[in-house]
Amino acid sequence: MFKDIEHLIRLATVMAIAVVAFLVLRAGVVPRSFGQYGHYRGAAMGEIAARPIAFAGHDLCETCHSDVADQKRQGKHVVVACEACHGALAKHADDPASLTPAKLDTTVLCARCHEANSAKPKWFPQVVTADHSGGIACDTCHQPHRPKIETKPETESKAEGKK
Amino acid sequence: MYIPVEGFMYPNEVELQWSVLIVLYPFITGLVAGAFILASLERVFRVEAVKPTYRLALLTALAFLLVAPLPLQLHLGHPERSFEMYLTPHRSSAMAMFGFVYLWYLMAVLLLEIWLDYRRDIVVKSQTSTGIMRFIYRVLTLGSNVISERSLRIDERLGYFITLIGIPSAFLLHGYVGFIFGSVKANPWWSSPLMPIVFIFSAMVSGIAAVMLLYMITTRLRGKEIDIRCLDKIAQYLMYTFVIDFSLEMLDLLQRIYEADESFRSLDFMVHTRLWTSQVIVQILLGTVTPIALLGLTQILKLTEKTRKRVYALAGCLTVMGIFAMRWNVVIGGQLFSKSFLGYTTYKMGFATREGLLTAIALMILPFGILWLLVKLLPPWPDASSISASGEFEQAEPVRSLV
């Protein structure tokens, strides 16, 4: 009776073996904690939490660099965290002598946020650096922690003097 | 790489993320679905005239289906991760579900149907061929050489049932591709509930045209006579499907023009500038209106066989080109305008890059190479199935009347 469907039984067997092999593979390679919290490996949370801390946080920076913090408070960069520009410096905060932060190249650093782009909001300070500074480092004129230049331009001072 | 931008673009819109490979993906899956539906015409709807193309259509569908995920794999930064959609299926992600749609269509529909249809030939060849080919055929028989009349009838009945399931599956495969684009609600060029339906009909059009051309070319290469009755019938179905497809696309266009929502002026400008050649000239005029008119002429005028063949060949080539242009305009066009509706970017195609022109050309040649291999392994020609190695295999045509 089964002779005429022998090939179909064999096909079904091959398919069943393939499905079982897949299930075995799946059981072997899918991490146990997958799906514990969502569509990801639950154990990843613990692994990430166990990573060494890289950022010190600006509160910790300010405990030693209060002079810089005071400067920042007077300008718009008060909202920019120290390590946003200086990089992750938890090691320096733990032991200042062990790591001295590198001097930053403001020609590149400032342009990262302030290079003109029509997609940026109009109120955001932005310049075409090639026209604005012609390759001169931004900190030649601007104090990075309080970037606004307070001195009035010469022409404006003369005009005011005439009044 | 400098990309010319006109007006205002958000920074993440300047460079196109979906390249020519993503154009190939719906184009190739469309050919698969279309070729399968042409095959089902004979199997399910009993259109006897198209019988000479039945097996060729199935093999074409398989050759293109095997290549269909490759553009996506090349597009992915980590192609090896794609297997994870099987290991840890994400049910709320339409893109992740593609793996299952693809697997279902490949394993449960196409391979099974081809295997059942060719099983008799495979068994015969496993006994008559020699060397490595004998080994391959023996593996394909799964160790069973039963080709009794009853077993073939069972195969036939099962094959019919699989084709029956295969039609909605082919619709699902390509409807899914349309769904992926149609469900991107942030993109007014794509977001349309008509998208899956338009994709299905355009898939049928491209698949039928491709198999028609392949049938003409392969018959010519084999030095055989083209079955003009078969060709006439395919061309007729091509025209019917194309008319429906074009009507749906025009309906979508009319809806957009009349609705004229906030995106309309921007999209209208894009069609009249950046997409003018690829959409209006290539897709609509050359790739749709001209082949429909040519196919229509063959229905109205009494043309000679020779002229009809030439007209069908020309119409087929224009159709495939037009459907490719349609995929191009959907995928690339949908990324050329800013979501602010105030600017336009340009698509810069790489040449010898991972997603460049050379890769795209190689991916389009590959299915033909696979098809050549498949044809060598499983000859689809009606005259080739009557293997006369031993007397008992002389009756070549499977029993269809019982289904």
Q: What is the pLDDT of residues B23-48, one digit of tens each?
A: 999 999 999 999 998 888 888 888 88
For tokens 């003109």, the residue is A116
Interaxial angle between packed helices B228-259 and B20-43, expressed in degrees from 0 to 180 and rounded to the nearest 10: 130
Residue A107, Cβ neighbours under 10 Å: how many?
15
Residue A153 has pLDDT above 70, yes or no: no
| Count of C-beta atoms within a 10 Å radius of residue A2 | 7
> Is any Cβ of chain B less than 8 angstroms from the Cβ of A112?
no
Residue where the block lists tokens 């920074």: B11
> What is chain B's mean pLDDT, rounded?
89
Q: What is the mean pLDDT of residues B251-266?
A: 92
Q: Do A119 and B11 lie within an 8 Å CB cutoff?
A: yes
Query: Within an 8 Å CB–CB cutoff, is residue B290 touching chain A?
Result: no
CB-based contacts of B367, cutoff 8 Å, min separation 6: B28, B31, B60, B63, B64, B66, B67
Question: What is the per-residue pLDDT for A121?
Answer: 82
For B150, name the nearest residue in chain A, comparing CA atoms only.
Answer: A4
Nearest chain A Cα distance for residue B172, angstroms: 23
| Res. A86: pLDDT tops 80 | yes
pLDDT for the residue numbered B396: 41
Helix B264-272 to helix B228-259 angle (10° resolution) is: 130
Residue B160 included in any domain: yes
Higher per-residue pLDDT: B304 or B46: B304
Domain extent for B346: 21-384
Q: Is residue A64's pLDDT more than 50?
A: yes
CA B285 to CA B292: how far, in whole Å? 10
pLDDT digits (tens, 9 = 90+) for B197-225: 999 999 999 999 999 999 999 999 999 99
User: Is A100 an interface residue toward B (CB < 8 Å)?
Assistant: no
Cβ count within 10 A of residue B147? 19
User: Looking at the complex, does the CB of residue B144 fall below 8 Å from at least one CB of chain A?
Assistant: yes
CB atoms under 10 Å from CB of B227, counted, come to 18
Can you tell me the distance from the alpha carbon of B15 to that of B17, in angstroms, rounded to the nearest whole number? Answer: 6
**Do the chains contact at A5 and B151, CB–CB below 8 Å?**
yes
Say how many domains are in chain B.
Answer: 1
For A120-140, what is each residue's pLDDT tens digit? 888 999 999 989 988 899 999
Residue with tokens 């500038």: B273
